[in-house]
Amino acid sequence: MKIICPHCEAINSVPKKETYKKANCGKCKNSLLQNKILTANSDNIDRILKNSDIPVIIDFWAPWCGPCKMFAPIFGAVAMEFPLKALFVKINTQDEQFLASRFKIRSIPTLVVFKNQEEIHRVSGAMDENSFINFVNKFV
């Protein structure tokens, strides 16, 4: 399966397995088992969506939004639990207004899940950690 390295955004080809002992990025050599949040913008979003065979979960947020700030550490912590299972991406709607309108974001935070370049789910409003783990588990 195709995986975007969360460290350097290189496209990696990784065999699909239930569990992994070791998997490193072919380009930056960082471990793909150590997940990291990617920041997307108009330049990289299509490449990310096109080259991810795992679900891509995008957090649309803005710096002035209180609930977004409260949700940020939860998004970060839960992302660490799903290496090679889901790619976690943040889009700052204040900087990326074109993307906010392209993806029809009406309120923030909004979480949108993509699989095979198609939007398969979206939800608005922040979640607590357990709810977000359950949410992610529905798609991985």
The residues assigned a catalytic role are 65, 68
**Which distant-in-sequence residues (6+ apart) come within 8 Å of 71 by Cβ?**
59, 61, 109, 126, 127
Q: Indicate the residue type of 134.
A: N
Which residues make Cβ contacts (< 8 Å) with residue 74, sequence separation at least 6? 126, 127, 128, 129, 132
28 binds Zn ion (CB under 5 A): yes
Closest separation between CB of residue 73 and Zn ion, Å? Answer: 24
Closest to Zn ion by CB, 2 or 104: 2
Residue number with CB closer to Zn ion (4 or 57): 4
* Residue 10 interacting with Zn ion (CB under 5 A): yes
Nearest to 32 by CA among 41, 40, 21: 21
Binding status of residue 27 toward Zn ion by CB under 5 A: yes
How close are the terminal C-alpha atoms of the chain, in Å? Answer: 14
Q: Tell which residue, 45, 29, 32, 27, has the closest CA to residue 3.
A: 32
Q: What's the closest the beta carbon of residue 3 comes to Zn ion, in angstroms?
A: 10
Nearer to Zn ion, 5 or 79 (CB): 5
Minimum CB–partner distance for residue 4 and Zn ion (Å):
9
5 is a site residue for Zn ion (CB under 5 A) = yes
Q: Is 25 in the site for Zn ion (CB under 5 A)?
A: yes
Binding site for Zn ion (CB under 5 A): 5, 7-8, 10, 25, 27-28
